[in-house]
Amino acid sequence: MTERLEPDELRQRVMPVAPAPVPHAGPPPKRLAFAAAHTDLAARARARLIARYGDVPADDAEVIVALGGDGFMLETLHQILGRPIAVFGMNCGSVGFLMNAFGEDDLPGRIARAQEAVLYPLRMHAETAHGVGHEALALNEVSLLRQLRQAAKLRVTVDGKVRLPELICDGILISTPAGSTAYNLSAHGPIVPLSADLLPLTPLSPFRPRRWRGALLPSTAHVLFEVLEADKRPVAAVADFTEVRDVISVAVREDRTRSATVLFDPDQALSERIIAEQFTV
């Protein structure tokens, strides 16, 4: 006789159950620093939390609690890049993809139970037409964007090999896995899990080659963008909050010497959010 299995039992036999994520270890933190975006909502939340849990300078804190939206979280993460401190965000903004739900109760306990996500930035080195070099880090993406009405012309080289001799487009971006759900997703680029060690390379409104939709590069890749006809078709480069105009070349690579640690409630880990985003319709 054939054994009849219910759907849940069948799924468990066919697909092994993934191990539960390891929570952030350690006792509840005693030294919290509260940072708030420049909004009334975030400022009022900060005042209430300080009255309840106290506040220490960021340099003396075990954890920084960021109150705001995703933009403010990015600002906070840039400030702590390379420092041995974690950030626990609570949403006082709109989307809040990088934030936890706001709540005032048992905050040290929530932080002690949280899961860690370690983010590595992209390092951009941009050279301008005036012979000036600029360095910047990006936790979301590095993008090249046309400055005027005409499309940009770019040459794309990966690890010393020219992959696209000429790309005519509005621009191009390379994103981190964490940033793959931001501008990259809006440009129809692929969402990449945190553990994939891949960097999405996504064109913005490509005209030639018309059918090219981007690539997935290993996280070790060194990418060089060269601007063709820069005088006629000027291009700006943007690394998160840093914009450099009139660039002629932009080199991008992942920088594993710097990192930022973000804490998430156990049922809302960043890796799970990235996977779930792929099934959002």
E strands present in the chain: 32-36, 63-68, 86-91, 115-119, 122-128, 133-138, 141-146, 152-158, 161-169, 171-175, 198-204, 215-218, 223-228, 235-239, 242-244, 247-254, 260-264
Q: How far apart are CA 178 and CA 174, in angstroms?
A: 12
Q: Name the active-site residue from 70, 231, 255, 265.
A: 70
Is 255 an annotated catalytic residue? no
CA nearest neighbour of 272 among 174, 138, 181: 181
Q: Using an 8 Å Cβ cutoff, are 263 and 115 in contact?
A: yes
Half-sphere exposure of 278 (CA within 13 A, CB side): 11
CA nearest neighbour of 201 among 247, 167, 245, 160: 167
Would you please indicate which residues are annotated as catalytic (active-site) residues?
70
